[in-house]
Structure 1
């Protein structure tokens, strides 16, 4: 028997990957997990008979010769299947977009790539081979891509994700059904939990990073917690969030993390807790340990190991282009054009910062026929500056709250650099 399996607690991307894998491996049988993620239950219930997934219990009587694994390369996440048969001679092929994780299957053939959705990888292979799919499977696959890319807003979204989405629409994917399937909360308890956690959030500044923590004790395990943390993450907009959920029966603790920054790598942070996932979306399950102790260890790890947040000094332009207060406005205008800049700090003959001049100031001077007047007659003298150690979040707030595009960086009373909106934009594209 040849089978297709995905990770335990199958989510939408896992199901979408299994559906497309069946086109690439038509003689393989898809096997369902004992757990289905709440976000996928509605879709699974609607398409249950179409999907035709067999129950894992049916593997007990079979000789499994080949296994295709999708959306994971971790043995612990497919253990429920492999416990049911002797896999010593089984050939394994993996389709997984978690490229930062090490494989627990050293002999396996691995297909991998940097895509927002695992379903995208299989969709590309269908496109390469001109394989047509049914409208139902196209809808399932498109739902998977929308779900795992956060409606194409996650940082790991690639042009390939858009390409396969177009491919699925070509084969009749129903966008109205997709919209219905990707709603955040499927269970009433998720909404109640969301409001309870929102009232107990703790913000901490760790090495310049604004991080939200939430600790919540529950009597027994519950599914759909990641959707709750994701929603809070989007609303509160921290640099990172960690939801720590402790269950009494059985005693275990789940850590769910989300990050916006490359230097808050969740894979590295949750690795000591046995976790995995993506650098900006990961989770971990810790068994037989008090929840508060897990929370303490997490906080300690972050305090000791988290890299310092990027500051003004890291992104500022040190070689600052300045103009003299005694130049005429016309001279400043020509200088701006030569340097292709939209503004510059104004200094006196001693080199001290005394003002700021922008293209808007020059345009106003031109309208008033003041181009022969000195810069100091038209410059802004109410200066907004910053220190070199403020964080990017603070810089962003200063620029936009004051409607300015140039922020001089001052150190010991002297201008050591400048930050522009272009500098900020380059940084935001990097994180």
Structure 2
């Protein structure tokens, strides 16, 4: 067994060094050798799920054969491991930065360098070996370096420390978190000012936030007043604070925020200041007629204007809550957690919270063979809950104060409405990196097993036209020349495995996709459109082929249903950002690997089994349109949703994520579904998943409407047999059936909400009168009555008539093939010759002649003139 240890009273440099070493030696177990500093203890209370560290009592020292010591070279400083590291048979490796310590472990191998923090030399080693680190790890490593170098101002600080911090910032280190845990000291003048500021405390409440305001005057400028603001923030722990210090006819305003809803930079922008959302400052000249208190009052008014409502617990909690009763066995609870992906369950008895059972509790009883025992014997019954209207700060404080991983969320009546966990907070604090880079965290939330599999599917490529194969091989050869990896992704590989050809050619490059697109366009002499903000390009070729080209990338979403932000990534990350395992397939195009299917997430097996499986838990919250895409695949291929995926869809719908979509995006997804291969199946799935209500609360779908929709294909086949051709969009027919029966005002509201084009808007409004037309058409006998009833209707309207009553097809056939083509030859000049001027009578005469001709009473031009003569004679008496 290999273990990693640091000194007793482990500080941040020791903790960060242990985590860094484990990335170099992942098989080694991290162990605290004794107590830790208060700040590290506070840090671990919140982040214990991210850093697995055992205690000395958990280790069987007889099984240890190797020890890696960090941030110390002295055996006496490692507590109960002191004797172990001095044994000759134990292999000891030391990482340290204390050159002045006497070496007392003769057989140990040492890596000791003159830097300000042990973390620095380990960060450099991780960088040299190209070992990826997450933003969370970068933040912890920065904490280690800042603590031991006094934020890079101690004499022991070296250039290597500063360079290491710069690298960590590039990797996403969060200085706000660093600032929260670093301790500082003050000089005499700073202490004096600090005490004055303390005495001046003025507390205000703004839109539910607690904000502290401090002010004082000094005769001279005192440096590092921001340090005092930090100390004040630590002492009072408000949602935000502002410090005003007047000196030498100037006022310095410093602001600090502990809540995303209070944007300090935006507030101090009013004074010409600048900084970040949570930390900013401004300096202004004092006007003679204004006192420091005047400026304080003005600042308070500005704060009131700029502060926005808070993000509350109810906005981030998970719901509905998975619960069990006290008599459920530990084994059953274990199975529920495995199926649902949860790490804890609420124990509920008659709607009353009795306790919480966690994954750790189950792991403990498993060792003793007690999985048959009921959860009530092992659950944590010391329940700490939080109100749904509480702030994120209250969540964090409660988790830290009580050292618990999850909190039941209750409403004003004390009823359970959700659950919030450390993971929910970490998603907010480190969302980008946890979600995209950290493999443990990323695939811990994953719904798929991750293992690279490759299959030779060159035989499937025989289904594709040679022209396309030649194009793909040329792309692969160019990628070889540029020394980059190239893949085709998306619908092409998915449909190819289903033995269908999909000519959506989406190429992704592990490298500079835009540069590859430029060179490929030059080679093929095609037209290229480049979208630099997304790192994508579209290549248009002479044979009407379009090729989409992009760099492999990862995406993260700042909020539900927002457009994603993009950064470069590997092919594995690029595929993982997609929706379902069956769409996360790639075919490599490089010549040495041409035709190899790359499958990280078992998508090939899911495709063969007809299963639609989400890749990760947050997929539908990142992009709710994936719900509609999944329904299209289910209807198109006859696939089934994997149980957890189906559960997540229903959960997302229940949480109203679809309401986050713009009206345009929502209607676009409906349109795509109605255009797909089996639109009726798609509508049935919308109904089954309670999604139709989000399109319109007035739309209904039942057996009668489904029966009408099933008539569409029959009517269209009948139309094909006619001697005339038509041009219309078939999907609109399904929309017309869907909207039929809705009141006129609701149809108008539907058209307005989705800003529908005129042709669609008119079609939907015309559905209101179809039943009336059907009744009349059924009764009419003459040709002219048929003509004037159907005249002016679009082909979609006429098709809807037949969808509702196919027995009227002969009258419709008569109109479409004959009546609508009949026209009269007599002209207006002929009527004028009889002394009649253009006007209402003019129109009446023309219609009478047309009606007579429709009813076969007249045929030739001569007969038309004779009819005209007689008609006028009768009119004149």
Q: Calculate the TM-score normalised by the size of structure 1.
A: 0.51
1:316-348: CA deviation from partner (whole Å, max 9, x where unpaired): 112322223332221111222233332111234
DSSP 3-state at the match of 1:347: strand
Give the drift of 1:367.
Answer: 4.8
Are 2:196 and 1:196 equivalent residues in the alignment?
yes
Are 2:422 and 1:421 equivalent residues in the alignment?
yes
DSSP 3-state at the match of 2:372: coil
Assess if the C-alpha contact under 8 Å between 1:194 and 1:228 holds in 2. Answer: no
Alpha-carbon distance in 2 for matches of 1:164, 1:396 = 27
Match of 2:267 in 1: 269
After TM superposition, the structure 1 = structure 2 runs for residues 60-71 of structure 1, keeping only pairs within 5 Å, are none
Alpha-carbon distance in 2 for matches of 1:300, 1:324 = 52
1:69-124: CA deviation from partner (whole Å, max 9, x where unpaired): xxxxxxxxxxxxxxxxxxxxxxxxxxxxxxxxxxxxxxxxxxxxxxxxxxxxxxxx
DSSP 3-state at the match of 2:387: coil
Give the drift of 1:369.
Answer: 4.0
Match of 1:217 in 2: 217
Match of 2:342 in 1: 341
Give the drift of 1:352.
Answer: 4.7
Where relative contact order (Cα < 8 A, 6+ residues apart) is larger, the structure is: 1
1:136-181: CA deviation from partner (whole Å, max 9, x where unpaired): xxxxxxxxxx8xxx938xxxxxxxx856857xxxxxxxxxxxxxxx
Match of 1:361 in 2: 361
Match of 1:310 in 2: 311
Assess if the C-alpha contact under 8 Å between 1:270 and 1:284 holds in 2. Answer: no
After TM superposition, the structure 1 = structure 2 runs for residues 71-90 of structure 1, keeping only pairs within 5 Å, are none
Alpha-carbon distance in 1 for matches of 2:317, 2:240 = 24
Assess if the C-alpha contact under 8 Å between 2:317 and 2:424 holds in 1. Answer: yes
Alpha-carbon distance in 1 for matches of 2:224, 2:270 = 21
Q: Given the superposition, is the C-alpha separation of residues 408 and 209 from structure 1 closer, same or farther in structure 2, using an over 3 Å criterion?
A: same
Q: What is the aligned length?
A: 258
Assess if the C-alpha contact under 8 Å between 2:213 and 2:241 holds in 1. Answer: yes
Assess if the C-alpha contact under 8 Å between 2:318 and 2:418 holds in 1. Answer: yes
DSSP 3-state at the match of 1:253: strand
More deviation, 397-406/225-234: 225-234
1:21-53: CA deviation from partner (whole Å, max 9, x where unpaired): xxxxxxxxxxxxxxxxxxxxxxxxxxxxxxxxx
Alpha-carbon distance in 1 for matches of 2:213, 2:328 = 54
DSSP 3-state at the match of 1:245: strand
Match of 1:61 in 2: none
Root-mean-square deviation (CA), in Å?
3.6
Match of 2:284 in 1: 285
Alpha-carbon distance in 1 for matches of 2:272, 2:229 = 21
Q: Given the superposition, is the C-alpha separation of residues 347 and 165 from structure 1 closer, same or farther in structure 2, using an over 3 Å criterion?
A: closer
Match of 1:66 in 2: none
Assess if the C-alpha contact under 8 Å between 2:242 and 2:254 holds in 1. Answer: yes
Alpha-carbon distance in 2 for matches of 1:269, 1:371 = 56
Q: Given the superposition, is the C-alpha separation of residues 305 and 198 from structure 1 closer, same or farther in structure 2, using an over 3 Å criterion?
A: same
> 5+ residue gaps in structure 2?
1-145, 153-161, 168-183, 432-557, 559-877
Assess if the C-alpha contact under 8 Å between 2:233 and 2:241 holds in 1. Answer: no
DSSP 3-state at the match of 2:334: helix
Match of 1:170 in 2: none
Q: Given the superposition, is the C-alpha separation of residues 331 and 282 from structure 1 closer, same or farther in structure 2, using an over 3 Å criterion?
A: same
Alpha-carbon distance in 2 for matches of 1:164, 1:354 = 47
Assess if the C-alpha contact under 8 Å between 1:193 and 1:228 holds in 2. Answer: no
Bigger Rg, which one: 2
Assess if the C-alpha contact under 8 Å between 2:190 and 2:228 holds in 1. Answer: no
Give the drift of 1:292.
Answer: 0.8
Give the drift of 1:291.
Answer: 1.5
Q: Given the superposition, is the C-alpha separation of residues 208 and 392 from structure 1 closer, same or farther in structure 2, using an over 3 Å criterion?
A: farther
DSSP 3-state at the match of 2:261: coil
Q: Calculate the TM-score normalised by the size of structure 2.
A: 0.27
Alpha-carbon distance in 1 for matches of 2:314, 2:274 = 33
Assess if the C-alpha contact under 8 Å between 1:244 and 1:253 holds in 2. Answer: yes
Alpha-carbon distance in 2 for matches of 1:374, 1:228 = 53
Match of 1:80 in 2: none
